[in-house]
Every structure is written in C-alpha cells, then in structure tokens.
Structure 1
C-alpha cells in the first residue's frame, strides 16, 4: 500500500469561514489563537490550521435548511453520494442486500465521494458511534436517525481518508457530530411543515418537530439535557406524477405477473405452452378453457399503487451531558442518550409465486396444483412434468405492512485533564463507552408457502390436517377469510448492533523547532463490536412465501494504538511564512468470533505551506482500511430479488445461451416474462479487509486587499483535488453486469452459479460476498465564501460549494467498468453519480430580519433504456421514453436524466413574545416544484431517491423561544 518512504505534499483546506446566521445576524468564523481538536487530527491546534479538508456545518447552518434530520442535511452536500433515507420504501420485499446489513427500513445514512455509507466513519464527540439496526440485518453503517438534530452544536466533515487517526471505515471521510455543551438556561424550538402549494395549503407528508433544551453552567460544573420528538407523516406513491405505476408512461406493462385473478403457465398434452388468466368477471368454481383467456403484458399488476413515496416515522430522544471539575486539572464527564424510532412502510400484497419456474429458491418452487384440489379448473395435476409457474396477487389479504421499533442507547463516562511538565501542558482523556441498537420489525400480510403447498396439493393431505383449508387461487376474490387465516401469519424479526469501547488519548508539545513547538498525540483503544439478526421462525425455516432469511450472529474484538506528530519546520522567511510537516501511524489488531485474526498498519503524511499570509497550499497522502462488518462476516444467507434484463431474450445472444445451458425454449422464455430474478447471497468469515490509498491536494486563497475594502469583509477561495483507490473491495458482483459479462461478452468466469431450469428461466443465481476488485475515484472540490461589511441594505454573504467527479470506476475479476461517473450502476441505479453538483447560498441580514436562499444543481445522468419488452410495441423505445433511442436495436437505446435545479429559501424575523426572545421563520424547499427526472431502470417510485428531492414544494414554519 503506502510505501514508508513516500512523502508527498500535503494539505487541503478548512476554509469554511462560517455561514450566515439564519436568525438575527450574519456571523463568520475567523482564526483564533485558541487551540482545539479539529476532526482529522488529535493534536490541539489553531482552528484554521490543518493539512486536510474539513467542512464545518454550524447549528445555524443546519437550522436554516428547515430539515429535521442530520442525514437529510448531509445528503444535500455536493460531496455526498446516494444513501439510505426515508424516501426508500423497501423492507426486504425485493430481498436483502449482499452485505448482510439488511435494508435499513426507516433509517438514514451518509455517503461521501459515492464510495458507500459503510466507508464513512461516524463519530459523536470524537468517539465511534454504534452501527444501525432495522431488524433485517446487522449493518456496517451508522443510522443517523439515531442521533437527533436537537443535540447538535456543529458537524465537522473530514473529506479525506483518516484510518491512521481513527481506524477502520474512515476511507471516504469522517463525520464528527459535536454535541451541545455550554447551555445556560432553556430554549424551545418547534416546527411544522409539509408538501403543498403554500404554508397554508399543505397536502401530505406533514412533519412536526419539538425540541426542549435545559442547561446550567457553574464554577465547577455544567449540564445540558435535551428532549426532542419528530413525527413525519406518509406520502403515497399514487399521489405523485411519476410514482403511481412501476414505470411512468408504460401503464401496467412493467407490473407484476402475479395478478389478482392469477396467471398460469404450463404445457398441455401436445407440449404447447399455455399462458392463461381468468376472464374478467369470472367467479365461483372456474373451468378451463371456458373461463380463461391468453395472458398479455397489459394484464400485469400495478404494485406501485400500494407503495409509499415518503415513509412515516416517529423519533423520540432524550440526551444529557454533564461535566464536573474534580480539581483544577481533572474533570469528570458523562453523557447518555436514548433514542426511539418507530417507522412504517408497506408494499403490495405478498404475491403467491409457485411452480418449478417461480424462482424463489424455496418451497414455493416445489408446489403442485393437484387434480383433487376442488378448485383446480384444468382437470390435471400441474407438477414438475408440465407446470412452469403460477402467480396470484391476493388483494384479499391487504398490503404487506412493515413496522419497525428501534431503541438506541449510548453511554460514555470518563475523565479528562491536563498534566504540566515544566513549561509544557499535556492534555489527556480516558473514557468507556457502551452503545446498543436494538430493533424489531413486525410484518403483517406474510404468507406461509408450506401451508400453500398443502392447501393446493392432494385433497386427502389437506383433510388429514384439521387446520388445513383447500385454497382457491383461480380468479379475483376467490380466497376466502378462512383460506387466508390458514396460509397467512405475522412475521417478527429482530436485530442488535452493539459496541463496547475503552480509549485513552494524550497530546501536547514536545520540543521547540524554528517555527514553533513540535506537537504530538498518542492513544490506545480497545473495543468489541457484536451483532445478531434473528429472523422469524417461519422465515428462517424457509416456509415463508416471502424472502427466506437465515440468522446472523458474530463479534469482532479490536485493539489499536496510534501516534501522531506535527513539525513546524520554517516560518517568517521570504516566501515562506509557514511550513509544517505532519504524520500519523496506527496499528489495528482484529480477531473475529470465527477464529480469524488479522492486523492492519496505516499511515498518513501531510504538508502545509503558506508562502504568504494570503495563500495556503496543502496536501495529504494516506492509506486506510475497512474491516468487514458483522453482517459481511457472518450473514449465513439471504436472497435479493433484482429487476434485471435477461440477455437471452435478445436474439443476438441466443447461440451463446444455448452453449451455456443447452437447447433453450426462447418462446417459453419470452412468455415467462421473468423481470425479477432471485439472487442468493451470504457472508464470508474469511473476507480480508479493504485497503485504500488516498491523496488530497489543493490551495486556499484569502486576499488581504479584498478584506481591506469598504464593502467586503472577507473572501476565501478553496480548491481541493482528491484521489481514492480501494483494493480488495468487499461486495457481490453486480447481477446485471454478471449476466452481461457471462452472456453478451462470453466471459465464462462470470457464469458460475447461474442455473436455468428446462432451458428457460433462471432458477438459481449465487452471488456471495468476496474481495472482488478495485474502486477508483477522483475529482475536484471548489468552494467560495464571501461576506460583506454592514451596508445600508444589510449584511450579505455568498457560499458556493462545487464537486466535480472526474472519474469513478470499478474493476471486478480483472474486468473494468471504465469511467462510469454520470452513468447509472446497472441493476443498482440508486448509486448513479452526477459529474457535477453544487449548492449556492446567498444570505442577508439587517436588524431583526434575515433571509437565506440556496440553489442546488445536479448534472445530467445517463442510463440504459432497455428492458424485457425490447423489440415489442411496448418497448421503452417504442413508447417514446428514451431520449436517445436506437433505430436498430432497442437494447442500445439511452435515456438522459436531465440536469436538475432546486431552489430553497428561508425568511426569519426576531422579535419578543410574552417577554421571551423569539425567532419566527418561514421557508420552503423546491420552491419551483422541480420534478425528479424519470428513471426507466428504478425498482420503486420511478426516480432515484438517494439523489433527487421528492416531487412537490415543501413549506415549513419554525419558532424558537428562549428567555
């Protein structure tokens, strides 16, 4: 990785000179002589010093967004990538991700540099936070909905690798949430908002938030306590333009083949494929063929009408922090937090897919419809000899409803103080932390496949069971309450993520150099991370009709040491106002509960150079790592249903398909219409850590001549280039890419684990976790901040933050994707990467009034405009949904998600109400009602919820009160 003798220029800037206050006045940060700990280093230093780029969001910065969660605020930054938020409505109805972390329903995460949420380290007050838990797996990422906005003083975002300082996960960067400490008195904040045409015309998705904070500061003590509650209501997909159907503009043709009337595929006595559905209005006991007709794509079921566009949740939090000075040099501190999240989401009624080609990988694939079933209309038994598959959507059962209940506890207790040796002071701290995230999920509307098998099988077998009720799946409304009672059950899953940690740090000055004292920091950390996932007994046994799940249980013990130093080399010389070298090394030793041990040594070198007082040049080079998560190590098996395009449907690939799987029935394959393919994945206790190499370099320019004018107070230009390379990346191969490489590009190494039954549909797709390849990304950040003096019109400020992604590529088994920034990620479009993002904020304040306006921009994204109906009148190309259609081959058509602009604003007025200082704010997000671009490849809601805002203006009203 990083060679020991490799020293390169270091540094990037922190030049974030503050934002405008959203309340009464503008305020910008300035350099001070006070030494503090800044994220990215454990050495106390001046606030604007440092060799790595750090973005600071103050409490007032967060307040003026009008948002009620930390994750929502961070996801709007130009450096952020697509990450989980409340606009994702999956609870595993499409399966589980390969990393064993579950789908995280109701949670929210942060992604930096598009490298994934599990490659971002989240700290609270400089200490590692407990991983997320949403009752579907053991996540390696932090759920930011476990940390309420009410307790935040500021958030520091290190936009650089930092494993040598903090250990595992700090590959893409570090988010350090600094909590409030010195509060004296009380304050209350309340807000209410929702989607609508104005603050007086809210229609749905309304959110209420209340915060109460109490604090006291004495000569030797301080304490602060916060209570907060946020209630976010639902938005239904059917109430948004693009989300009411599986794909906007295609009707039900991309819907599910499991319909309320039923779809049945089998071969008749002559070997002909029968693809049939009951005629409209057919009821009672049906007969074939009189009560049936041919199934067409127009018969598919619109599952989107049941989906949620914004998922509801209720979050309640209690937080307290206390500090007491035991002496002039030693202080005791403790903080404790409890957070409860109740969240809900739903999906269409659970489909009944049965038969050899059902592709569930479970009992449902073995279900037969026996001739003795009293409702069987076909007069023969449908089994492995003639049955292909059947799909029935039991509207009689109602939607699948998922409810998550997540409790988070975190306690830290420790001592901190100073030690004097001669004229030098050393700062030390030592603390123990314990955190746990426990979640349960209740799913109603679940179906028992084992009971469905018995209820559709030989009548004698069903009659031998006193509880069994023969099942009628033939025709709409045919399933009676008694039938439902027998085949349905309530599913309960549970997860836990736990961290136990001890750490100790010391820092101070060592010896004097020509430019100042050499500083150092050193520390030790010991922690244990553990977790489990306990699926419902029926789901774990494989008897459920839904996604089968296996339990996960494991732990990892970690012991780490680090040392960091900085050396001021030169100062006050011609063209060398200041020159500093910094370095850090960390040793990490891991042992997991499977008996696998490994260790990592990481390092970092930085250089900070100020040729003049106006210009700062900085660069860093570092190596880092990410240890596999509990889910990645110990997940014993999960299934994911991916929406894929089968290349065997393309006539150009049929010779290749015949070579791999033997003679195929391409007519039957087209009739099957297999749009969702079940993928089996699982953890791997022998996974090796990911390793990374990161470089950043850039400049900060703050011209004195500008600041000395009568109009302007300050201006800062910051330019940062970054380059990250990850080796041994842990993942499963992208399923669509694996199919394409196997079939289209004739790469046999990608065909392993893909099986087909009877030469038709895919029946097994093994896709386990491995250290599969490399990830590379590079780009440039540009930031501008400008502030005026107090003018006749008031005080103004401008902040403009840009991120340009120059390259993003992945290499799997020696095959590279090439540069895919600006392009969707195959079967995972939620990770599409815009090449350019920026946010431009203009602030103003005068007397008791203030205002803030932000323009956010995302550049265009390219996607494939192809699916299983290519070559038909219902293809995406034929329907006119492709912005760059191919006139030769529908599979080559392209769609462009146009560049998108969002405009937000907030206006505030400070006044006195009943003797209390108060600030009243009114604001709106997406004032121009910009609709998200239509995505032709997205599974849910027709757009990319990790990248774009939801459709609709969002208005809100806020009030703050304090004595």
Structure 2
C-alpha cells in the first residue's frame, strides 16, 4: 500500500479554505500513521489519491475555532460555496410554499443549486428534506449535528462516477467522530453588539469509552437562536426607495380604483404613515415589506447519537445512529385580500364608512361609486371595492425530526478489504400556520354580516330574505376594536402540512491490489448499491387546490404542494488507480445507475496526476455526472405557488404583457410534476497543480469547468412565448382540468383580431387582440389581462455552464515559540452562462446580480503552547444591481437620486469583513472569543432587492461575537 507522501499531505492542507485554520500539522501527523485510508472522491483504500483532485478538508480543530454553531455557519465562508443564489439559510425562510422551508438551510457548490450538490455522512447518503425549496429537494444541513462531526471533506468537482446521482457540482462528506476517548463539554454564547437581542447559545457533549471489546462514542447537542428582523437595523428598517411600495396597505385600506369616480386609487383616513404619491398621481396608503421582513428565523435544535465500533473475530462491526429535532417559526408579509374568485378589489358594505365623521364620510361618498355585489350566502348588497392586505404576517411553525442508522461489517480477505452496510435515513416535518391565514369564504361572509358566532357561514332564505344567523359586519377600515378583531378571528385558519422523506440503502464494496503495471501496484475498488427512496408532502385540505373548487384554495395567500413519489435504484461501479510510471498516475472510474422511473445512465471519470519532482504535482480530471429528477419534481400532483415571468428576457412577451417594459411580473400558478422528466446531465473538467517547495509552504492553482444541461424547472416566460403561436396554451378563464397553459381574463374572449379570431383560436393575432382589448375595456394598463392559476408543467428547460479558477496559498512560520500561519484562498469566476427564461439566448451571469466575479479570504493565525489567535479578512467583489427587473417608477427615482451610471445601471459595492479569534488552552479546558464583522460593516445597498441588500451574499446582522468554553475530562 502507498503511504501518504509529504507532498500529498501539503496539497490536501493547501486546499482547506475555511476562514480559521488550526492544528493542520497535527492532523497530518495522525493521518501519516494510517496505512489504509479512504478519502472523498475515491473508494480505493490505501493509495495516495489526494494529489489527483481538489479536496477541501475542515478538521475538528478548524470547526472548534471557527466560531460556528451550525453546519451552515461553518460552510458559509468556504469559497466554493459562495456566489450565486444556490446556497441558502434561514434568512430565506418564509411562510409561503415557494419559500425556503422554515428553519432549514442548504449548501450549493459553484452556484449550481443545492440539488446539484451531493451530501454524504461517512460516505453514505442522507435523506432529503421532505419539504422542497420550490420543487428542488435538498438535504437540510441544519439537521446534521455539528458536535458529531470529526471533519468535513468538500470535493468541488463532478463525482457521479464514484457516488451516483446529484454529484453534479461535487460532494460534501461529513465524517463522524469515532474511537473517541474521554469526555468533552462545550458551551458557547453569542449575540450581536446591537441594541436588539439576537442571542444564541450552544451546549454539546462528546463522550467515548471502551465497551464490550470496542469503542462507544456518544454525543448530544442543543442549540437555540433568537430571530432577527429587518426593523432591528438602521440599514434595513426603512425601504431604500419610496417608490418600492405596494398598493395593498395592512391598515387603512385604499379604495380600489374601479370604485373611484376619477378612476384613481383613493386613500381613506387613518393611514399611520405619510401618503405616497404613485406614478399615476394618486395619494395612497402604501405598504413596504421591510416592516415585516424576518432576516433570520428563531431556531432551536437538539440531537443525540452514538458511534459504536468493535471487532468480531476478523470482522469489524460499526454502527452509527443519530436523532435530531429542529423547531423554527417563520413569517412572510401579510396576505393580500382578494375577492372570493381571487380577482382584485374585494367589496365592502357601504355602511363600513359610518365609522368616519359625517363630513368625511360624505366626502368619500362623493368620490366613489356604490355598486351591487353578490355575497357568499347569495344575497345582493351595495358597496364599493377596496385594496388591502391583512394586518398580521403569515406565520408558520415547523418541527422537523431526522434520524439516521447505518450498520455495517468490514474486514480483510488476503490483500483485499471489504465492507457492506445497511442504511436508513429519514426526515419528517410537520408545519402549522399559526397566524395571518384566513378562510376566503368566511372572510367575505364576515364582510357581509353572514359569519355566525360559531364560525360557520349563514344560510340565506331568499323567499323570506332572512339569514339563519345574524352576524355583525366586519369592518376592514376599523382598527383596534376588540369586537371587530374577534369577528376576523373567526375566519382564521390553521392549515397544516406533513412531509416524510426516507432512504433505504444497502451497499457492498471491495478494495485491493489488482496486479502490477511497470513494477507498480494497481489499486482497485468495486461495488454495488441498492437504494429505495420515498417522499410524501401532504397539506391539509383547506390549503389544497383542485379542479372541483375552481382551483381556489380555501385560504388567502397560502399555497401548498401535494406530492408523493417513490423510486428504486441499483448501481455498480469500478475504480482503478494505475501508476503508469514512477511519476505519472491514472485514476479511472465508471458507474452504471439504473432507476425504475426515468431509466439508466453511465458516468465515467478519468484523472491524471504527474509528479515531475517531489515538490510538485500536476493534475487533471474529466468526468460526467447526473442529477435524477427529484421525487418532488416527478411526483407533484398539484402545487399552488407563484411564478415570475421576465419581460426583460423576451421582447415579444414584454410587448404583450408588460407594456413593452423589461420588468418582472409574478402570478399565481399551478405546477404539475412530470414523470417523463429526464435526468440533468453534467460534464466537468479540472486541471491544476500543487507546489510545496517546503513542508511549510503550499501553493495550489486549479481551473475548473462545468457544463450542466437539461435543467428541470417551470418557465412561465417560455410558456407565454410559446402561447403566441400555440392556441392550445391560451384559455379564457381557468385552464381546463388536464390542460396546460395561460389563463386570461374571461372577458378577453369578447374581443377578436381583424380576422375574427378570439384569443383561443388557432392563428389569432395577439397584438391585434391587445389593441381591440384596449379599445373595448380601456384598461388601467395596456397589456393582455391575465387571470389566475396558469398551469405549468415541470420540464427540462435549459442549461448552465460555469468555469473558474481556485487559488490557495498556505505558509507556516515558527515564531516566538509558536506557529504562525498565513493563508490565502480565492475563487475567480471566469464565466457563468445560463439561458434566459423563455429564450434560447445564453446570458453571462458573472458580474450580474448575485454573481460576484471574485471571492477571497486572507487569514493570519498564531498558536503557541496555550495561546492562539487569528484574523481573517473575507472579500466579495462588486456586481450589478438587479436594475432590469425594477418598475418604471423605481427607475425614475433612482435616476433622480443620481445613483445610476450613464447606461442606467449601478453596481452593488464590494464587501469586506474582518473576523477575529483569540483563545487560551488550559490543561483540561480552553476558552475562546470570536468576533465576526469586527468593524460592524453594513451590507452594501442593493436597490433591486426588496430588502435593500443581497441576503445571499451579504449579511445585515452586523458585528456579532461568540464566547466558547470547553472542558475535557
């Protein structure tokens, strides 16, 4: 067997990019004692493979001194995981179906999305969260107990030839502690230095001892963190632009423009903030999402488990088990109030204006129309339309439990090592809406005085003109009235959502010397794998849409995803390590996967490493990878959500639906799963070198490239574009059951083009129909009127191609009785190409919104016999603000502020933060203090984000600290 060479150890150390690096030399010494090891990226034991691939290693001491309390905290500064919109945390959580599930987080390599990153624990799979982010299943890294982790290995290159599906961008492998001796308790407390309280504490225990001829390692961990609101910081408390408002206030509703005599939205008295002048010259009471924006959810997690390892004769038996539970509460902005059929402008009875003084009431009546409207019970009343949202944010509680059990046997037969294991991994989630969700029928019954005291809707007898119960009329213009609030409470609903994701697996592997080539040993590994996956996501009936109820969910503004799917898979792989010469090594791998739903795929890998001298290794690799359609994507029965279409990506769509502007619009849609989806495919290439002229110096440079095809998504822009020529996608009113496409205002079929075609007819000229509609309806906006619940099918829609360069430098010095370390690592994105939605045009994303070109860290640390300290500088380069998707009124305000350049664009500024750590080791204890964002830098302004900053690449928390105390028994 080959031992680890000093160069290989140096190269592996050089690829570590976590901000704080400690005890790497001790880790290397321990690894040198091991004759047979297996590293992420290979199944072959006992050969020197680290030099053939860029492997990032985060050790136990690195974890301890990072200041991290969760896996996300640990990974968020790793360069390979920064940039783009793939990696997300609880800052992206919300209460709606298209939000990140509350309290959950995901890791995404190279910005390709969390579904393209394979998560392993001890080299084996983990069940995905049962609640998808959109339709992408992902592993919730918040469910992995940090206390159990010995180290983390990150391989940022395609690895399906070794590990199978999902390793498109690479693999993150969490290695558990085992053979631990003694006991250790760690306690930490952290908070921001702001006046608000974002406190967090962590307590964990690790204990190991000899038991029954083996070793038992037990761990337990508890973490608790308070939430963090936008209103808690000056930089996010107020909107950057006055024009970034919504017409739907949550107090003092506006009167809908259609009920106003002059056709303009009308503010009613009682607005708690100054009225806003709209682009149409109206004075309205407005809403800004900052006031309810939750930048980080309150989060609590508890976990416990064990790792047991023993010898049974010549066989080694290993079992690991952990159980975890997380709890979180998340909210989204209050839901808009619509009519029963979900169109704008609900009706209020004219008597609701009686709360105002007579002169004010009469002034309002002089400016509005009083029209008849039909109530839920079937009566005909008189009133007017208003614009508003509920006062209470939509709020959900979520409990997630996860468990994992792996039990396996391993041993040796001659010069061959073998192992086999059974795996059970499960994630189960329960969600309940606890506030801000209201039944549409009960609410409208309350508006008409038809909601009974028991919460039921009154029956109406037309013959006698009587109701079965007499209820008070709910007044949306009245605030702070207990009786009125109690009436609204009768309409509150608490929809639930239950999900379960399970992975059953069995694998068997063998590794050993296959023979000789040119006097050198050929290493090899072979294996087979069986896997069964199941997922269910079941919302309560009051949050489900179906054709029978006209796709109207019982509650306002709260979608759901009904899905259920399962699949079976088997695979076989082979891997070879062939020393072609004394200095040139070849790694070959191939894996065949067969799925019982979408079919089979074969993925190869070829890697070369050349050591012309002991101090230098040159390496290159090529591999293909794939991502099977997620179970949610294959098994969605019906998902109620919102989808955006981008008029900036398609001028034909812009002319018909956006008055020619390049804005982005959002609509209610229904998404359908697609059992005919094909697997996403990827080809990756990397080449570079590692140079270690001394034991204390390492430089690594690597070029990498991914070509990722057949991405799975819905694409409303593309459907709108296709509907221009495809009549089967155009529907007046709701899309029929079993159909697909776009739903238009039913009244649109009252007009035709010059040839007499309606919008549903083949050959219809949509531009002529738009002109006819403008003449017929005199609409507020000159665009084709969309209705609701467009039906979109998940499809293999496009591609993305990304390339870049990683650079890492590591230098150690022996100074003043200790070791000083200078470390630098950076990622430079050369290109990130992706086809625009609804277009075959490939756009370049590097330097655009959320895609910084350069990401870097520079660290300096010193450690002696007892004292240790470090300073790390993290840098994210500037990139373009999301100007293209802004409204015209916002662009006008930006222009007036003078923040746009000559081309009408602006950049989000580069961001640099400093992290400091200081600590002391006693004989049986240690204490350390870490401070993140030492100089309390606000995130750069981003006018294109409703939050005013980019919450993926930046952080509004400000200066925050963590004090850690550890005691070893």
Place the TM-score, normalised by the shorter chain, in its bin: 0.7 to 0.9
CA distance, structure 2, for counterparts of residue 172 and residue 321 of structure 1:
30
> Residue in 1 aligned with 2:910?
899
CA distance, structure 2, for counterparts of residue 369 and residue 803 of structure 1:
56
> Residue in 2 aligned with 1:583?
588
> Residue in 2 aligned with 1:241?
234
Change beyond 3 A, Cα 1:659–1:624: closer
1:141 CA drift (Å):
1.1
How big is each residue's C-alpha offset from its partner over 1:794-818, in whole Å with a ceiling of 9 and x where there is no partner?
3111221110110001125662332
The 8 Å contact of residues 13 and 698 in structure 1, kept in 2 or not, is answered as no
1:260 to 226, 251, 265: 251
CA distance, structure 2, for counterparts of residue 794 and residue 297 of structure 1:
68
Asked if 1:471 corresponds to 2:478, the answer is no
Change beyond 3 A, Cα 1:918–1:48: farther
How big is each residue's C-alpha offset from its partner over 1:147-183, in whole Å with a ceiling of 9 and x where there is no partner?
0110010000011101011000000000000000021
Asked if 1:950 corresponds to 2:956, the answer is yes
CA distance, structure 2, for counterparts of residue 503 and residue 25 of structure 1:
32
The 8 Å contact of residues 132 and 138 in structure 1, kept in 2 or not, is answered as no
1:640 CA drift (Å):
3.6
CA distance, structure 2, for counterparts of residue 586 and residue 14 of structure 1:
26
2:204 to 211, 214, 230: 211
> Residue in 1 aligned with 2:288?
302
CA distance, structure 2, for counterparts of residue 382 and residue 242 of structure 1:
45
CA distance, structure 1, for counterparts of residue 595 and residue 493 of structure 2:
41
Asked if 1:809 corresponds to 2:833, the answer is yes
RMSD across aligned positions (CA): 3.5
Change beyond 3 A, Cα 1:819–1:751: farther
> Residue in 2 aligned with 1:722?
704
Asked if 1:922 corresponds to 2:926, the answer is no
Q: Secondary structure in 2 aligned to 1:71?
A: helix
Q: Which structure dedicates a bigger proportion of its chain to helix? A: 2
Change beyond 3 A, Cα 1:390–1:680: farther
How big is each residue's C-alpha offset from its partner over 1:603-657, in whole Å with a ceiling of 9 and x where there is no partner?
1111111111111111111111000111111122334446778779xxx98xx67
Q: Tell me whether 544-553 or 476-485 shows the greater mean CA deviation.
A: 476-485
Asked if 1:88 corresponds to 2:82, the answer is no
Please, which runs of 5 or more residues in structure 1 have no aligned partner? 1-11, 97-101, 283-293, 356-362, 572-577, 708-712, 825-831, 887-892
Q: Secondary structure in 2 aligned to 1:447?
A: coil
Q: Secondary structure in 1 aligned to 2:935?
A: coil
The 8 Å contact of residues 623 and 692 in structure 1, kept in 2 or not, is answered as yes
> Residue in 1 aligned with 2:307?
321
Change beyond 3 A, Cα 1:383–1:723: farther
> Residue in 2 aligned with 1:450?
441
The 8 Å contact of residues 87 and 111 in structure 2, kept in 1 or not, is answered as no
CA distance, structure 2, for counterparts of residue 474 and residue 955 of structure 1:
45
CA distance, structure 1, for counterparts of residue 286 and residue 902 of structure 2:
25
Change beyond 3 A, Cα 1:928–1:275: same
The 8 Å contact of residues 13 and 699 in structure 1, kept in 2 or not, is answered as no
CA distance, structure 2, for counterparts of residue 415 and residue 403 of structure 1:
41
> Residue in 1 aligned with 2:945?
938
CA distance, structure 2, for counterparts of residue 579 and residue 183 of structure 1:
38
> Residue in 2 aligned with 1:57?
58
Q: Secondary structure in 1 aligned to 2:544?
A: helix
How big is each residue's C-alpha offset from its partner over 1:300-349, in whole Å with a ceiling of 9 and x where there is no partner?
1133212222211011000101012101x201111111000011122343
Please, which runs of 5 or more residues in structure 2 have no aligned partner? 1-9, 273-279, 355-364, 451-457, 461-465, 546-552, 731-740, 749-772, 774-780
> Residue in 1 aligned with 2:187?
190
1:692 CA drift (Å):
0.8
How big is each residue's C-alpha offset from its partner over 1:806-832, in whole Å with a ceiling of 9 and x where there is no partner?
0001125662332111212xxxxxxx2
1:427 to 417, 421, 424: 417
1:440 CA drift (Å):
0.9
The 8 Å contact of residues 233 and 313 in structure 1, kept in 2 or not, is answered as yes
1:234 CA drift (Å):
1.5
CA distance, structure 2, for counterparts of residue 658 and residue 801 of structure 1:
43
CA distance, structure 1, for counterparts of residue 654 and residue 854 of structure 2:
44
> Residue in 2 aligned with 1:637?
638
CA distance, structure 1, for counterparts of residue 468 and residue 133 of structure 2:
33
CA distance, structure 1, for counterparts of residue 640 and residue 893 of structure 2:
29
The 8 Å contact of residues 367 and 457 in structure 1, kept in 2 or not, is answered as no
Change beyond 3 A, Cα 1:264–1:840: same
Change beyond 3 A, Cα 1:866–1:560: closer
Asked if 1:855 corresponds to 2:870, the answer is no
Q: Tell me whether 481-490 or 854-863 shows the greater mean CA deviation.
A: 481-490
1:78 CA drift (Å):
0.9
The 8 Å contact of residues 301 and 326 in structure 2, kept in 1 or not, is answered as yes
The 8 Å contact of residues 330 and 417 in structure 1, kept in 2 or not, is answered as yes
Change beyond 3 A, Cα 1:269–1:796: closer
CA distance, structure 2, for counterparts of residue 47 and residue 203 of structure 1:
51
1:441 to 408, 415, 431: 431
Asked if 1:834 corresponds to 2:835, the answer is no
1:769 CA drift (Å):
1.8
CA distance, structure 2, for counterparts of residue 208 and residue 951 of structure 1:
16
Change beyond 3 A, Cα 1:801–1:370: closer
> Residue in 1 aligned with 2:811?
786
Q: How many pairs does the alignment contain?
A: 860
Q: Tell me whether 720-729 or 760-769 shows the greater mean CA deviation.
A: 760-769
Change beyond 3 A, Cα 1:507–1:400: same
Change beyond 3 A, Cα 1:17–1:167: closer
2:106 to 105, 109, 114: 109
CA distance, structure 1, for counterparts of residue 527 and residue 306 of structure 2:
26
CA distance, structure 2, for counterparts of residue 241 and residue 583 of structure 1:
56
The 8 Å contact of residues 302 and 325 in structure 2, kept in 1 or not, is answered as yes
If the length of structure 2 is used for normalisation, what is the TM-score? 0.82
The 8 Å contact of residues 138 and 496 in structure 1, kept in 2 or not, is answered as no
Instruction: Write the mapping of 1:529-928 to structure 2, written as runs, cut at 5 A.
Output: 529-541=533-545, 542-571=553-582, 578-591=583-596, 596-641=597-642, 660=656, 676-703=666-693, 707=694, 713-733=695-715, 753-757=741-745, 760=781, 761-764=785-788, 765-788=790-813, 790-792=814-816, 794-811=818-835, 815-824=840-849, 832-865=850-883, 869-870=887-888, 875-880=893-898, 882-884=899-901, 893-912=904-923, 917-928=924-935
If the length of structure 1 is used for normalisation, what is the TM-score? 0.82
Asked if 1:332 corresponds to 2:311, the answer is no
Q: Secondary structure in 2 aligned to 1:429?
A: strand
Change beyond 3 A, Cα 1:608–1:389: farther
1:263 CA drift (Å):
2.5
How big is each residue's C-alpha offset from its partner over 1:430-473, in whole Å with a ceiling of 9 and x where there is no partner?
11111111111111221111223334469685664549654322
1:482 CA drift (Å):
3.6
Instruction: Write the mapping of 1:20-99 to structure 2, written as runs, cut at 5 A.
Output: 27=26, 29=28, 32=32, 34-46=35-47, 49-81=50-82, 82-93=85-96, 95-96=97-98
The 8 Å contact of residues 251 and 388 in structure 2, kept in 1 or not, is answered as yes
Change beyond 3 A, Cα 1:793–1:340: same
